Chains A and B, each alone.
Chain A
Amino acid sequence: MITAKSYFLKANMKLPPVEQLEANVNQFFISAEDKKEIQKQLSLFDPIYPGAIELYDGDQLLIGVKYHDSVDGLWLGIITMLHQVMELGEGSVHFIYQPISLHMKEGQQHNIFLSLLEQSVVKEEWTMAKHDIFQALITGAEQFFNTLFDLNFTFIQAEKEQVKQNIRTLSQLLKNM
């Protein structure tokens, strides 16, 4: 089973080398499920939130917090990427703070090729069942944005209904697959 988990970077952190972050996730990040801690530690009025998405296939970590960037930027990009894959067979999401991107392409027999590119060079690539990765990312996006909506993060308020509608459309398309 593929799962996705979202994190916000704690404010004013001095970060160690990116590899060490993964061994100390809770020291540097707040889970997006921990609304109490988010309210305590973060401003709700910024236009962007540094953070990370962890993507697991079972117990295997595919993408970890060493790829921290803008967590809201990543999720907004992932929603767009999933729509692109549904319509065109492939799509991409570009990180905001650095030249890294995720690329998703439809393969044979309901498979998806997911690639992580650093400066346009493929660094990691995975093959997974389309339904599984779509389900994981749609659920992950829904959970993340529900936190933003519940806590009234200001930057997303004007697009709240549009984001909800985009996620609903993806869920419906997944059911019809």
Chain B
Amino acid sequence: MFKKYVVFLLSLLLMAASLLPTSFSEVEAASYDWNIYSSSIEFKATGQDFYNKSCGQVNNATQGYFRLPTTYANQTIESYSVGAGKYVELNFGGCSTYGMTHILSRHVPEYFIGNVTRIQSFFNPGYSIGYYENLVEQIVYENAYQILQYGFTSSGTAVYGNAYGNPAYPVKLIIKGGKVITMYSSGWGIGEDLR
């Protein structure tokens, strides 16, 4: 609790010092890191292939990992205090909509279900479901003030953090209506659709 309070205070100071952007900004992609095929994706750096999962498999893995009583979309996995008595919720969600299952099924290679957007990005392979929940938590607390200001509206807000503790791997987190919508690698880990 004390740690969370310190993180929250630090985020306030950072906000004042650096005037964090309240509008969404983008980072230029360098090149394609992944090949997207009809039933798998290939991590070009290592040649590893990851075969598409079904949404049901993602749901089962998420329910099992967090030992959830239900798989309802609004089943809360975690909630994070951002001040003023407000909490951001990480919900079970849905593969195509929001929450933990969306993040896994859309952007995590081990759980990708094959639904591709125009710009499709992936995190690096080799990280557990718990890693992504911790990353959500970290980015929420680092940006608590901005989320408190803008994250509880229907328009929501985008905030940024880093994966792997490395600023070379920026990550974008979207909060809308007080809920975690999605989280993806920003400007790296881009896949080329070769289907």
Asked if A14 and B98 make an inter-chain contact with CB atoms under 8 angstroms apart, the answer reads: no
**What's the Cα separation between A24 and B186 when bound, in Å?**
30
**A-B contacts besides A15-B114, A46-B94, A99-B119, 7 pairs, CB < 8 Å:** A76-B154, A96-B176, A98-B119, A98-B120, A99-B29, A100-B118, A155-B154
A residues contacting the other copy or chain, number (CB 8 A): 43
Which residues of B13-27 are within 8 A (CB) of A?
23-24, 26-27
Residues in B with CB closer than 8 Å to A96 are 156, 174, 176, 181-182
Q: Mark contacts of B104-121 with chain A using CB atoms, 8 A cut-off: 1 yes-contact digit, 0 otherwise.
A: 001000000111111111
Asked if B176 and A48 make an inter-chain contact with CB atoms under 8 angstroms apart, the answer reads: yes
**B149 within 8 Å of A (CB atoms):** no
**What's the least CB distance linking B26 to chain A, in Å?**
5
**B61 within 8 Å of A (CB atoms):** no
**What's the least CB distance linking B66 to chain A, in Å?**
19
**B48 within 8 Å of A (CB atoms):** no
**What's the least CB distance linking B176 to chain A, in Å?**
6
A-side residues, CB < 8 A to B, are: 9, 11-18, 43, 45-50, 66-70, 72-73, 76-77, 80, 92, 94, 96-101, 117-121, 155-156, 158-159
| A49-B97, A77-B155 known; A18-B116 Cβ under 8 A | yes
| A18-B117, A18-B118 known; A159-B27 Cβ under 8 A | no
**What's the Cα separation between A119 and B27 when bound, in Å?**
6
Asked if B118 and A101 make an inter-chain contact with CB atoms under 8 angstroms apart, the answer reads: no
**What's the Cα separation between A14 and B114 when bound, in Å?**
8
